[in-house]
C-alpha cells in the first residue's frame, strides 16, 4: 500500500486547509470511502466525514479518528510535495493521519467477510484550537451505531519510525487560556508620579505569577502557566494607559486546573491593586485533560507488540500539550497513542508546528498496520 498512501498524503500535504475549511480534503476522503463501499456521512461539524463498515457477523463497534486541518504558517521545506498554498502548511502531520485511516479502510474493505461488529472511521475538522472533535461528539458521531471504544494516533517526531508510544491514564493536558488587561493611566514618561504605569505592574505580575506553579501546586502534580504575549505602549517617552497579557494554563487534573485558575486571579488582583490600578480578566476553558483508559492502553500496547515486538512499544510520560481527542474519551473508553515518524539520517527531526516539519513516510504503512492490529484485537477478528 505504501505508494498509494504516499500519494494521498502528498496530495493533501500540497493542498493544506485550515480548521472547518477542509472542503477538498473531506471530498477526497469521501470519494475513497465510497470507492471502498463504506457507508459515508458528510457534513458533520461542517467538513467532517464518517465512514462505516458493518461486519457480516455481530460484534462490538470500534471507532478510529483522524484530524484533517493544517496550520496558518509557511512551509520552508524544499521538497516536491511542499505546500502549494502560501500561509498554510500541514506542520502537525494531520495529512498523514488521514492517509493512514484511509489505508485502514482500504484494508478492511478488502476483507469484509472477516469483519464482525462494526468499524467506524471519524475524520474530523479543526483539531488545532477549533475543537472540531467536540462538535463531532455533540453532533452524535459516537451514536448510530453506538461506539464501544475509540482510538486515535498522532505521528510523533521524538520517536523513530517503527516505534509506538503509549501513555496510561492522563496523557495530555487540559489547556485553558486567559486574557488580562491592566488598566493604568497614561502620561509623559518624565512625570511618572502623574500616571499609573501599567508596564511596571505587568513586570511585577509576570514574576509573581510564576510563583503559583512552584509554591501552590503539589510538586508531584503537573501545571504550566505561560504568558505568551505582552502588548502595551507606543513610544519610549509615553506611559501607556493599558497593557494586555495573554497566557496559557495547563494541567493534568481537574483539581489543579481549578487551583491554577483561582490563584492566577488572586495574584493578578493582589499585584494590580497594590499599584492602585484596575484590570479586566477573562479565563476561557479549552480542551479537557486527555485520559487514556488503562485497559485500552494495554490493548494498544499488546496489539502493536504482536507486530513489532515489545521493545518497540515505549511507555511515555504525559505531555502538557493538548488534543481534542479528549472529548471522545470523555464519552467512551479508548486510547490515544503515538506513531514514531523521526528519521535522523534523512534529517526528519523537526518538531510539530515547525516550518521544517516533515515525516518519514514509512510511518504511513506502519500506522495502517498498527491500527489494523488494534482493531483486530478489539473486535476479536484473528486476521492472519
* Per-residue mark of binding to Zn ion, 90-109 (x: CB under 5 A): --x-----------------
Q: Can you tell me whether residue 176 is helix, strand or coil?
A: strand
At which residue does the C-alpha cell 487551583 appear?
259
Nearer to Zn ion, 92 or 172 (CB): 92
Nearer to Zn ion, 69 or 176 (CB): 69
Size of the site for Zn ion (CB under 5 A): 1
To the nearest whole angstrom, how small is the minimum distance from the Cβ of residue 349 to Zn ion? 17
Secondary structure letter of residue 312 according to DSSP: G
Nearer to Zn ion, 271 or 322 (CB): 322
To the nearest whole angstrom, how small is the minimum distance from the Cβ of residue 331 to Zn ion? 21
Question: Is 156 in the active site?
Answer: no
Q: Can you tell me whether residue 228 is helix, strand or coil?
A: strand
Nearer to Zn ion, 271 or 364 (CB): 364
Residues 311-350 that bind Zn ion (CB under 5 A): none
Q: What whole-number distance in Å separates Cα of residue 31 and Cα of residue 169?
A: 36
Q: What whole-number distance in Å separates Cα of residue 165 and Cα of residue 158?
A: 10
Nearest residue to Zn ion on Cβ basis: 92
Residues 48-77 that bind Zn ion (CB under 5 A): none
Candidates 81, 279, 287, 378; catalytic one: 287
To the nearest whole angstrom, how small is the minimum distance from the Cβ of residue 353 to Zn ion? 6
To the nearest whole angstrom, how small is the minimum distance from the Cβ of residue 8 to Zn ion? 18
Cβ(160)–Cβ(140) under 8 Å? Answer: no
* Per-residue mark of binding to Zn ion, 74-93 (x: CB under 5 A): ------------------x-
Nearer to Zn ion, 91 or 245 (CB): 91
297 C-beta neighbours (distance < 10 Å), count: 21
Nearer to Zn ion, 77 or 109 (CB): 77
Question: Is 361 in the active site?
Answer: yes
Q: What whole-number distance in Å separates Cα of residue 129 and Cα of residue 88?
A: 15
To the nearest whole angstrom, how small is the minimum distance from the Cβ of residue 156 to Zn ion? 10
Nearer to Zn ion, 195 or 292 (CB): 292
To the nearest whole angstrom, how small is the minimum distance from the Cβ of residue 133 to Zn ion? 11
Residues found in the chain: 384
Q: What whole-number distance in Å separates Cα of residue 95 and Cα of residue 93?
A: 5
Cβ(193)–Cβ(340) under 8 Å? Answer: no
Candidates 22, 361, 362, 369; catalytic one: 361
Number of helices (H), then strands (E), belonging to the chain: the values are: 10, 16
Q: E-strand spans in 68-168?
A: 116-124, 149-160, 164-166
To the nearest whole angstrom, how small is the minimum distance from the Cβ of residue 97 to Zn ion? 8
Task: Measure the CA angle with vertex 263, ends 261 and 267; round to 5°.
Answer: 125
Q: E-strand spans in the chain?
A: 39-44, 48-54, 57-67, 116-124, 149-160, 164-166, 169-172, 174-183, 187-188, 223-232, 238-239, 242-251, 278-284, 290-292, 313-315, 334-342
What is the crossing angle of helices 198-209 and 254-274, to 10°? 150
Residues 254-293 that bind Zn ion (CB under 5 A): none
Which helix or strand (DSSP H or E) is residue 24 part of?
helix 23-35
The set of catalytic residues is 287, 361
Query: Which residues of this chain interact with Zn ion, rule CB under 5 A?
Result: 92
Amino acid at each position: 500500500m505504501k505508494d498509494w498512501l504516499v500519494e494521498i498524503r502528498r496530495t493533501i500535504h500540497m493542498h493544506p486547509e485550515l480548521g472547518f475549511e477542509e472542503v477538498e480534503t473531506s471530498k477526497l476522503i469521501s470519494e475513497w470511502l465510497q470507492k471502498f463501499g463504506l457507508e459515508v456521512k458528510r457534513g458533520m461539524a461542517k467538513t467532517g466525514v464518517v465512514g462505516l463498515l458493518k461486519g457480516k457477523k455481530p460484534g462490538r463497534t470500534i471507532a478510529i479518528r483522524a484530524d484533517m486541518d493544517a496550520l496558518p504558517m509557511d512551509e520552508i521545506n524544499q521538497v516536491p510535495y511542499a505546500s502549494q498554498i502560501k500561509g498554510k502548511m500541514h506542520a502537525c502531520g494531520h495529512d498523514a493521519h488521514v492517509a493512514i485511516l484511509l489505508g485502514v479502510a482500504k484494508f478492511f474493505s478488502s476483507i469484509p467477510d472477516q469483519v464482525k461488529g462494526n468499524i467506524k472511521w471519524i475524520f474530523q475538522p479543526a483539531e488545532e484550537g477549533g475543537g472540531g472533535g467536540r462538535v463531532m461528539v455533540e453532533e452524535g458521531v459516537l451514536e448510530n451505531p453506538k461506539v464501544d471504544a475509540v482510538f486515535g494516533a498522532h505521528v510523533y517526531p521524538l520517536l523513530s519510525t517503527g516505534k509506538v508510544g503509549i501513555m496510561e491514564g492522563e496523557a495530555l493536558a487540559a489547556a485553558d487560556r486567559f486574557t488580562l488587561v491592566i488598566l493604568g493611566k497614561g502620561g509623559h514618561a518624565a512625570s511618572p508620579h502623574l500616571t499609573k504605569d501599567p508596564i511596571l505592574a505587568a513586570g511585577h505580575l509576570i514574576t509573581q505569577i510564576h510563583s503559583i506553579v512552584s509554591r501552590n501546586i503539589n510538586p508531584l502534580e503537573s501545571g504550566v502557566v505561560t504568558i505568551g504575549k505582552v502588548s502595551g505602549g507606543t513610544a519610549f517617552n509615553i506611559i501607556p494607559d493599558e497593557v494586555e497579557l495573554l497566557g496559557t494554563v495547563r494541567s493534568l487534573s481537574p483539581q489543579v486546573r481549578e487551583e491554577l485558575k483561582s490563584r492566577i486571579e488572586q495574584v493578578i488582583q493582589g499585584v494590580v491593586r497594590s499599584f492602585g490600578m484596575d484590570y479586566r480578566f477573562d479565563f476561557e476553558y479549552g480542551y479537557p485533560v486527555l485520559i487514556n483508559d488503562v485497559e485500552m492502553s494495554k490493548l494498544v500496547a499488546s496489539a502493536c507488540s504482536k507486530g513489532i515486538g515489545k521493545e518497540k512499544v515505549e511507555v511515555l510520560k504525559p505531555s502538557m500539550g493538548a488534543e481534542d481527542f479528549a472529548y471522545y474519551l470523555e464519552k467512551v473508553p479508548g486510547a490515544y497513542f503515538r506513531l514514531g515518524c523521526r528519521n535522523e539520517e534523512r534529517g526528519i527531526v523537526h518538531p510539530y508546528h515547525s516550518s521544517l516539519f516533515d515525516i518519514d513516510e514509512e510511518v504511513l504503512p506502519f500506522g495502517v498496520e498498527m491500527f489494523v492490529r488494534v482493531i483486530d484485537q478489539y473486535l476479536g477478528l484473528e486476521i492472519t
